[in-house]
Chain A
């Protein structure tokens, strides 16, 4: 596809269960970002990948959150032992080149998001 895709589009889970959210960036994009957006709020930065490494994990809210990226392409965000406060839309974005001290060298393209609901 031409854009960033995310799956699933919706996920309902029970408190305490683990969930995996997937992001397929635009082909050839080396930088990948995860954000989350709670209802009515702005975006909260979670983690940034350059290739398969994550030079900035500073936004991950707790050690229950982890992410990996393989083959410089697909990324998975894993939330262990989900809590109700984890309910949000999780957004993935990719850009062609790496983030620099000056910020993203290129515009970020966002996926449609995964809406996570923890009951």
Chain B
């Protein structure tokens, strides 16, 4: 079973920031936190990953709580192409149902 919990769905307006939360209260000290997303009719694609410190890349930012029991994926300006299912997973690579993000124009 997945060790992460995420909201089933979220909505955002285009060009606004989006904060996608993830809880992983049973995370171990060696677990990385990974985020992938799956666009409609495609395989998942890597977004970002981190261990303790916040991470930034060209796609998104990852904010990790100090106790590492939760994290937040931040899309700074949502576009229609960001509409997808976003998965937060730990090192065991067990995917849950993810969060379906809808972006409204």
Partners in one complex: yes
Q: A residues near B, CB below 8 A?
A: 4, 33, 35, 41-45, 48, 91, 93, 99, 101-104, 107-113
Question: Which residues of B from 20 to 73 have beta carbons under 8 Å from A?
Answer: 30-32, 34, 36, 42-46, 49, 51
Q: CB < 8 Å: which of B91, B97, B98 contacts A102? A: B91
Q: Closest 5 A-B residue pairs measured CB to CB?
A: A103-B91, A110-B43, A107-B46, A43-B95, A103-B32
Contact A43 B32 (CB under 8 A): no
Given contacts A102-B32, A103-B32, contact A35 B95 (CB under 8 A): yes
Q: B residues near A, CB below 8 A?
A: 2, 30-32, 34, 36, 42-46, 49, 51, 85, 87, 90-98
Contact B93 A111 (CB under 8 A): no
